[in-house]
Amino acid sequence: MLVQDREAPPSPPKPAKKSQIRELPTTTHQQIRRFSEPKSLDFSTWVSENLSRIVIISLSIITIAALFFLYNTTDTASLLCFQSQSTQSLQPLTRPQIKWNTIQALPDKTSPYSNFVTEKWIVVSVTKYPTEELKGLVKIRGWQVLAVGNSMTPKDWSLKGSIFLSLDAQAELGYRVLDHLPYDSFVRKSVGYLFAIQHGANKIYDADDRGEVIGGDLGKCFDVELVSEPILQYSHEDPNRTVVNPYIHFGQRSVWPRGLPLENVGEINHEEFYTEVFGGKQFIQQGISNGLPDVDSVFYFTRKTTLEPFDIRFDEHAPKVALPQGVMVPVNSFNTLYHSSAFWGLMLPVSVSSMASDVLRGYWGQRLLWELGGYVAVYPPTAHRFDRVEAYPFAEEKDLHVNVGRLIKFLLIWRSEKHSLFEKILDLSFAMAEEGFWTEQDLKFTSAWLQDLITVGYQQPRLMSLELDRPRATIGHGDRKEFVPRKLPSVHLGVEETGTVSTEIGNLIRWRKNFGNVVLVMFCNGPVERTALEWRLLYGRVFKTVVILSSQKNSDLYVEEAKLDHIYKHLPKIFDRYSSAEGFLFVEDDTVLNYWNLLQADKTKIWTTDKVSKSWTSVKPTGKSDWFSAQAELVKRTVSTMPAHFQVNYKEAAKNNLDALTVCSSEVFYVPKRLVTDFVDLVDLVGEMDLHYKVAVPMFFMSMDSPQNFDPVLGSMVYKKKSSSFNSSLSLYSAQAPAVHPWSISSEQDFIKLVGQMAEGDPLLMELV
């Protein structure tokens, strides 16, 4: 050893002869050389002899300083990456093996809410006292607010109408995930999700305590109830496109969401065309936020030149849009609705930075959602988030910007051979830990989360075949759906962007702005197999959606069954389905709408053909058992049961001819939102009576409002009586009229002829053919 005896320093050794030195053992030889005559204290000599030690000590100091710097700059991602790589290089990852059948569902027996059950929950993380926005969330009818606290939440936090889970209350729940959660982070919302599921949740709105739900009604913002209706969908035609910026679709080209790879920020062109997907499986619904949308720190710092808060607005009339398999979108935890089939995807990772946790969760969840045949849909503005003018922590996003592009590519090629969803989830979490997207801590957290889901009574959904592995279907001309986004005022490097859009699409955007929240209901008398897609292509560019009805149902074409004679009895279902719509325009397929001539119409009034003499007529019944007499008797019976306001309106409108029966051909009419309830009430009054729609509709309108208040927009329509050759001459059509009747469409060739005529008013239609 090199440690010397500290009691008595050794005396200098005596000089030895060379022969003696050669004959000494090795150890003695080294000792003599180690403790030979004192050397000169020349500095250069000392450095040369101790160079290796100096290098080792210097590297140690630099390493300690680097770790200290990483820790104190809160660059959690860098530190975690350093730790995980060094740990994983020493100890290989082990995939958890779980015996699912041994896990028992356990009811809540410890909390004060053990007997409380409800289906709709709003889960928020709270750090400060209740905000005004959070107080607004509590007032949303039918939804239970669950506030999840952390170590920074005031001890006396309270808000009437909400359920608050303090750290102590969380600990008593006994969930496995509690062993993995940090005390001072919003990711403790995972406890709240489990609590909500345990207490009957089948919808969870993942919210922010500074977000205000627009209109105060989540049912008008999202598809809280999933229905089978066509939804606009991004095209999958470009196999190289893996992620989209949804803000472009909703009118903001220079804004991008947090979690969008920075290399995709410059892609600002709108879609050439969309497709459609059958609704009902949009299990994750991402809402857009006005005010301060979900943007990253790069956008926040480069677009902000003053202390003025952001107040960015998106197009509220733009249609919701779905993502096909193979294309992803950033998903956050601020304004997102989860249906029960996607509850497993609520898990917030714990080993990454807080600003990256929900984004990684969103991409991870989207990939797994494809295994169920589900998809993400993005909705027009559903919330308003207020900018508190607080600094965005760039360091907390560092791992996000570095890894998210690589993560998307990885998720697209990842496959699992497991036969249950939970096993696939474990597979993916294991693979992501191996690839360094998160650490082994999240692998263990995933295991705990899945076991807790079973414990709180959640049933894992069944798998479906993955469409990604099938040949991509060719997108035919008839499958294309066109929508041109508005270009709203925005901010670009601190400069307000107010430029006008190109003249080629200006009119289309103006029409879409006017009718983008009006539902078009069309009844097809002709063969829907040849015309349904064409009608949607024609009118879907302008209206909120096109609902097609026919005497025979066609699920493949989303055509609903209805009887034309009693078409008014089917309309309340559509009114309820699109409760947020501004109005409902009904048209039969033998009538053409020149929508560019409807702009001046008042969307708060009734539109009908009362000023078109050949459409709106009065007939005096003979009193015999003819059809008109039978209908007149049904009208009298209905009017006699009307409430006072309906009956007064009707008799006032018909005072000059009370004995006559008003008949309207009703090929086209409009019901404004303000009168939807009245319309539904009148339908209920008719009940099962065999009242024909050509009699019922004018009776309804005369009861709902005075004819003097009807909008006259349809009064100048071209209207001719049908004949055997009514479509033989194209001279009937006029681009200056609001509508044209009759016109027959029974094939694609007929549609092409019509488009050729309508192009006089809408030149962009020629692009459809």
d(CA 260, CA 212): 24
Q: Which two tokens stand for residue 301?
A: 């710092």
Residue 681 has pLDDT above 70, yes or no: yes
pLDDT digits (tens, 9 = 90+) for 185-202: 999 999 999 999 999 999
d(CA 740, CA 760): 14
pLDDT at position 49, please? 53
pLDDT at position 548, please? 93
Q: What are the strands, taking DSSP E only, across 185-260?
A: 203-207, 211-213, 230-234
- For residue 585, which of 662, 676, 497 has the smallest C-alpha distance? 676
pLDDT at position 303, please? 67
pLDDT digits (tens, 9 = 90+) for 592-627: 999 999 999 999 999 999 999 899 999 988 877 789
- CA distances to 335, 467, 517, 728 from 221, rounded to whole Å, are 11, 29, 13, 46
Residue 764 has pLDDT above 50, yes or no: yes
Three-state DSSP class for 256?
Answer: coil
Give the list of residues 6+ apart from residue 123 with CB closer than 8 angstroms, or none.
146, 148, 189, 192, 193, 196, 204, 205, 206, 207
Mean pLDDT of 102-123: 92
Q: Which two tokens stand for residue 239?
A: 């196999």
Sign of CA dihedral 395, 400, 403, 405: negative
Mean pLDDT of 289-305: 80
Q: Which two tokens stand for residue 326?
A: 């193979």
Mean pLDDT of 133-138: 96
- For residue 360, which of 453, 437, 428, 434 has the smallest C-alpha distance? 437
Residue 307 has pLDDT above 80, yes or no: no
d(CA 544, CA 318): 8
Q: Which two tokens stand for residue 471?
A: 């040949």
φ and ψ at residue 395, rounded to 5 degrees = -60, -30
d(CA 335, CA 441): 27
Backbone φ/ψ region at 558: left (φ over 0), alpha (ψ -120 to 50), beta: left
- For residue 741, which of 587, 605, 523 has the smallest C-alpha distance? 587
d(CA 336, CA 629): 56
pTM score, two decimals?
Answer: 0.57
pLDDT at position 237, please? 87
Give the list of residues 6+ apart from residue 747 with CB closer than 8 angstroms, or none.
530, 531
Backbone φ/ψ region at 242: left (φ over 0), alpha (ψ -120 to 50), beta: alpha
Residue 439 has pLDDT above 70, yes or no: yes
Mean pLDDT of 42-54: 49
Counted residue by residue, the chain has a size of: 769
pLDDT digits (tens, 9 = 90+) for 553-563: 988 788 999 99
Q: Which two tokens stand for residue 3?
A: 């440690």
φ and ψ at residue 245, rounded to 5 degrees = -100, 105
Sign of CA dihedral 640, 642, 647, 649: negative
Q: What is the mean pLDDT of the chain?
A: 84
- For residue 172, which of 112, 102, 121, 122 has the smallest C-alpha distance? 112
* Percent of the chain scoring above 90 in pLDDT: 61
Rg from Cα positions in the chain:
35
Tell me which amino acid residue 247 is: Y
pLDDT digits (tens, 9 = 90+) for 225-277: 999 899 999 998 888 899 999 999 999 988 899 999 877 877 777 888 999 99
Sign of CA dihedral 327, 329, 335, 340: positive
d(CA 260, CA 378): 15
User: DSSP of 705-717, one letter per residue?
Assistant: S-GGGSBGGGGG-
Whether 454 and 103 have beta carbons less than 8 Å apart is answered as yes
pLDDT at position 398, please? 63
Tell me which amino acid residue 404 is: V
User: DSSP of 205-220, one letter per residue?
Assistant: EEE-TTEEEGGG-HHH
Give the list of residues 6+ apart from residue 761 with CB closer than 8 angstroms, or none.
594, 596, 597, 735
Residue 91 has pLDDT above 70, yes or no: no
Q: From the centroid of its chain, how far is CA 409?
A: 21
pLDDT at position 395, please? 61
d(CA 194, CA 509): 44
d(CA 101, CA 402): 40
Q: Tell me whether residue 156 is exposed, middle or buried, using C-beta atoms within 10 angstroms of its C-beta: 0 to 12, 13 to 18, 19 or more.
A: exposed
Count other Cβ atoms within 10 Å, centred on residue 109.
7
- For residue 764, which of 542, 508, 485 has the smallest C-alpha distance? 508
pLDDT at position 302, please? 63
Higher pLDDT, 406 or 74: 406
pLDDT at position 512, please? 78
